[in-house]
Amino acid sequence: MSMQYKYMRIQGREESWVTKYPKGIFGMCWRMIMDEIMSQEEEALFREIDQWFRDNLPEPEACQNGEKVITFFKTDTTDEMRRRLEPAMQILDKYAHPYDVVYTNYVGKIVYEDEWQVAVQVENGRMV
């Protein structure tokens, strides 16, 4: 019997300058766009993915306010989202940009929660 984890996050190995916690997949991809690493086709594909998430997932108020939070997907409701992120993961793979898919039951202080995600407070690069 395999263990069922409640939360999942795709994160890089570089720190976010805001949270000092490993950057999430959207932050990594936006950085690659700013650094002009992706092709125009890849950028267009990522922008479509990003727009889908903006259209379909509420943005936690804490994220809008620039608070020090990170988000985790809830594994039981987000299979479709994981599939939608695969092309972005393939872009990271193509450029050998390291990332980790983290599954856990232990997140810090939840400051926001909806059907699909939780936002967790971060201080000094660690979950509170």
Residue 2 located in a structural domain: no
pLDDT in the model for residue 118: 95
pLDDT in the model for residue 62: 77
pLDDT in the model for residue 53: 93
CA distance 1 to 10: 24
Pairing verdict, β 117-123 and 69-74:
antiparallel
pLDDT in the model for residue 22: 94
Query: How many C-beta neighbours within 10 Å does residue 44 have?
Result: 10
Structure tokens at 29: 């991809």
pLDDT in tens, 36-68: 999 999 999 999 999 999 999 888 887 878 788
pLDDT in tens, 1-50: 567 999 999 999 999 888 899 999 999 999 999 999 999 999 999 999 99
Which amino acid is present at 58? P
CA distance 53 to 72: 14
Residue 63 located in a structural domain: yes
pLDDT in the model for residue 92: 98
pLDDT in the model for residue 2: 66
pLDDT in tens, 77-91: 888 899 999 999 999
- Selection from 51, 43, 16 nearest residue 124 by Cα: 16
Domains contained in the chain, number: 1
DSSP reduced 3-state for 25 = helix
Residue 65 located in a structural domain: yes
Compute the mean pLDDT over every residue in the chain, rounded to the nearest whole number: 92
Residue 31 located in a structural domain: yes
Residue 1 located in a structural domain: no
Residue 93 located in a structural domain: yes
Residue 28 located in a structural domain: yes
Helix (H) or strand (E) holding 52: helix 40-56
What's the whole-model pTM score? 0.90
Residue 77 located in a structural domain: yes
Domain range for 31 is: 7-127
DSSP reduced 3-state for 95 = coil
